[in-house]
Structure 1
Amino acid sequence: MKALAGMVVLTATLLAGCESGDIKKAKADVSNELRDPSSAEFRNINEIKKTSVLELEVVTVCGEVNGKNAYGGYVGFQRFVSQPKSDRVYLENSWNTFDSLWSRHCSDA
């Protein structure tokens, strides 16, 4: 039983270190958009790489984030779109046209 528990901890530790630099940057950028950046919780993170018209690789990170409000309570998960190389962050609850942005950039997610 201890061996199984050790394997689970080891696997979780190894998988936690598998995030790309773009995902880490996107998480930091998205966290900074929240009222309490240290409270950010992420799920369903996807990194999408596409080639632009100029043959350049464009990386978009899509996912969901939850954070605390001014009263210290979590507000619920909302989707986000981040382009780490250009420091752009779009939060679902902050953009009227978010659905079209999500479908354009995160369609592979």
Structure 2
Amino acid sequence: MESAKAGGVHMVDEIACPDCAETIKAEAKVCRFCGLRLSDQAATSGPAPSSVDKDSPRQAHVWKNVAAVIAIGFVVSVLIYLQVYEGDKSKSYVDSSLIEAGQSAVARQLSDPASAQYRNFSTAGDCLTGEINAKNRLGGYVGFQDFLYDPRTKAVYLDVGLPETGLPFDLWKEQMNEHTAFIDKRTNCSRRA
């Protein structure tokens, strides 16, 4: 610590912060390292635990973090509740005869109908939607893709999905048009209900 003599009286220019032990000016009201507020008595007489302000910025920061964690926990629990309990109510019952008719119609368009794997059945108006994965002519599974079965026309529509980047423009445009047509057909089914 540095010291200076002023009029024969020995004064301390710097003191150690009672919280972080860093050296600070004796006249300091707040520690520049940890943000601890010091009362006038602590700044002149050295560290005294009883003279430390209980509501230091560090403690306020901790309480803000605790409040933020509690708020985030509350929001997450509400979202989980809505997903688990409210989500089940919005799922519609899909008639098993509609599923069988849809699977039969989709199977007629496949090169290997026995390999078909179905999932995520739902209804769009009076139409059946879902996902199908089946083997191609080379014997490999192509991956799940959306399908739509219209019981009125007995037609099946397969979604090619969004086109990949890097395709030649003509191919990209063709795939985008097929995907858009699929979305339009699903929308039309939903409107009919």
Q: TM-score range by the shorter chain?
A: 0.5 to 0.7
Paired residue for 2:108?
32
Q: Distance in 1 between matches of 2:117 and 2:95?
A: 15
Q: Which residue of 2 aligns with 1:68?
A: 135
Moved more, 70-79 or 82-91: 82-91
Q: Could you give the per-residue CA deviations for residues 28-50 of structure 1, whole angstroms, max 9, x where no partner exists?
A: 1011111111111001001344x
Amino acid at match of 1:65: I
Shift of the alpha carbon at 1:104?
3.6
What's the secondary structure of 2:139's corresponding residue? Answer: coil
Q: Does 1:88 align with 2:155?
A: yes
Higher relative contact order (CA 8 A, sep 6+): 1
Compute the TM-score of the two structures, normalised by the length of structure 2.
0.37
Q: Please state whether the residue corresponding to 1:42 is helix, strand or coil.
A: strand
Task: Judging by fraction of residues, say which structure has more strand.
Answer: 1
TM-score (norm 1): 0.62
Percentage identity across paired residues of the two chains: 35
Map of 1:55 onto structure 2: none
1:72 CA drift (Å): 0.7
Question: Could you list the per-position Cα deviations for residues 45-85 of structure 1 after superposition, in whole angstroms to 9, with x for gaps in the alignment?
Answer: 01344xxxxxxxxx210011111011111000110110234
Aligned to 1:100: 184
Any runs of at least 4 consecutive aligned residues in structure 1 with deviations exceeding 6 A, and if so which?
A: none
Distance of 2:186 and 2:153 partners within structure 1 = 17
> Structure 1 residues 48 and 99 mapped into 2: Cα distance closer, same or farther (>3 Å)?
closer
**CA RMSD, 1 decimal:** 2.4
Query: Which runs of 5 or more structure 1 residues have no equivalent in the other structure?
Result: 1-17, 50-58
Structure 2: how far apart are the matches of 1:33 and 1:86? Answer: 15
Q: Which segments of 5 or more consecutive residues in structure 2 lack a partner in the other structure? A: 1-93, 161-174
